[in-house]
Amino acid sequence: MYKRKKFGKICLCGVLVVVAIMTVSCSSGLEGIAEMLVEEPDPYDPGIQIEIVSSSEEETQLEESSEEEEKVTAEETSEALPPIEPPRFYPGDIIEAEHVLTVDVDKFFIISPISDPVFKRMDGNSYRPGCPVPREELRYLRILHYDFSGNIRVGELVCHQSVSEDLLRIFRQLYDIGYPVEKVRLVDDYGADDDRSCSDNNTSCFNYRTVAGTKRLSLHALGLAVDINPIYNPYVIWRSDGTSVCVPAEGEAYMDRKKDFPYKIDEEDICCRLFREAGFTWGGGWEGHKDYMHFSKGVRPER
C-alpha cells in the first residue's frame, strides 16, 4: 500500500523507531508528533511522491510488541534521523501498474502553466527570442504512455493552451487502450533539435522552428502540432525526378505505406481517428508530400 505524505514531516526508519513513536503518542499524549496528512500532487512539479507504508497486518504486529521496545520522543527522533523523502517519478521513468492504481491514474494526467523549472529547460532551446507565443499561453502536460516494451512510462509535452485539453484527452484514451508510443519527452532534451528528437523516435509538440526545408514558421512553433512515433511515420517528399527525402533518415524503411509493419499510422489507426475526431489535421492525408507522424490544429495546413 502506498500513501502520499506532506514534505517536512518527520520520517521514521526502522521498526524500533516506529514502535517507540507509536508508544509515546498512545501513552503520554505528546503534542510534538505531526499529524498525518494526505497531500495533493503539485501541478507545477512533474514529479509524483509515493511513500511505501506497511500493511495493516504488519502495523498490528508492531503494536502488539511495542511494550517491549525502547521509548523515544519525537524531538529526539527528528534530531537523530535526517528526513527521508519518498521516491518520485519523473518523465521517462517506468512505473509499475500497481503503483498507478495506488496513486490514481488521473493524478498522472495533468495540465499546468509553464513552471519556472520547466521554462528553464525551454529557455534558449525550444523557446527562443522571437517566439510569437507568450509563455503564459503555453501549457505543460504530464501523461502516462506505454512504450514499445509494454512498460508504463511518464511522458511530458508542451503545447498551446487552446489544444491542451484535446491532447490530454487523446493521450489518456491512447493510454487506456494500451496504444504504444515509444518516448514522450520535451524536445529540449535533444537541444531543441527536431532531427535528433525524431531520430530517437520521440513524440513531441512545441518547438519554435520553421517547417523543414523552408523559412515558414511551423505550427510546432505555436504549440499546435504534435509528431507521433516519427521513425515509423516519417515525413516524406517525393520529387518529380523520382528521388525522395525522408525525415528522419531512420524512417526510410517505412516510407512505403503499402507494407504492413508495427506502429504505422494510417487512416484506420485509432491514433489517427482520435486526432481527427478532435479536429486535428493529419499530415498523412496531404497531397504532394506526406507527414505521417504529424497532427495539427490551426488556421492553415502545415505544408
| List of residues 6+ apart from 65 with CB closer than 8 A | 19
CA distances (Å), origin 296, targets 49, 164, 186: 34, 12, 17
Reply yes or no on whether the pLDDT at 9 is more than 70.
no
Instruction: Flag the least confident range among 18-27, 75-84, 225-234, 272-281.
Output: 18-27
pLDDT tens for 141-183 read 999 999 999 999 999 999 999 999 999 999 999 999 999 999 9
CA 220, chain centre distance (Å): 18
d(CA 207, CA 134): 13
Highest mean pLDDT among 25-39, 236-250, 252-266: 252-266
Cell numbers 511522491 correspond to 49
Q: If pLDDT is split at 50, 70 and 90, which confidence band does 69 have?
A: very low
The answer to whether 86 and 103 are in contact (CB under 8 A) is no
Reply yes or no on whether the pLDDT at 93 is more than 50.
yes
pLDDT score recorded for residue 262: 97
DSSP 242-297: S-EEEESGGGGGG--TTS--TT---TTSHHHHHHHHTTPEEGGG-SSEEETTEEE-
Is the preceding omega at residue 248 within 30 degrees of 0, hence cis? yes
% helix / strand / coil in the chain, to the nearest 5?
A: 35, 20, 45
pLDDT score recorded for residue 63: 53
Reply yes or no on whether the pLDDT at 199 is more than 70.
yes
Reply yes or no on whether the pLDDT at 66 is more than 90.
no
Q: If pLDDT is split at 50, 70 and 90, which confidence band does 102 have?
A: confident
User: In angstroms, how far apart are the furthest CA atoms of the chain?
Assistant: 89
| List of residues 6+ apart from 267 with CB closer than 8 A | 273, 282, 284, 285
Q: If pLDDT is split at 50, 70 and 90, which confidence band does 299 have?
A: low
Q: What is the mean pLDDT of the chain?
A: 79
CA 163, chain centre distance (Å): 16
C-alpha cell at 285: 492525408
Reply yes or no on whether the pLDDT at 303 is more than 70.
no
Reply yes or no on whether the pLDDT at 36 is more than 70.
no
Q: If pLDDT is split at 50, 70 and 90, which confidence band does 211 have?
A: confident
- Tell me the residue type at 19: V
pLDDT score recorded for residue 45: 55
CA distance between the termini of the chain: 51
Reply yes or no on whether the pLDDT at 85 is more than 70.
no
Q: pTM for this structure?
A: 0.73
Instruction: Flag the least confident range among 41-50, 223-232, 275-284.
Output: 41-50
The helix/strand count (H/E) of the chain reads as: 8, 16
Reply yes or no on whether the pLDDT at 2 is more than 60.
no
d(CA 85, CA 106): 23
| List of residues 6+ apart from 91 with CB closer than 8 A | 46, 142, 154, 155, 156, 184, 185, 186
Calculate Rg over the CA atoms of the chain. Answer: 25
pLDDT score recorded for residue 236: 94
Cell numbers 499524549 correspond to 29
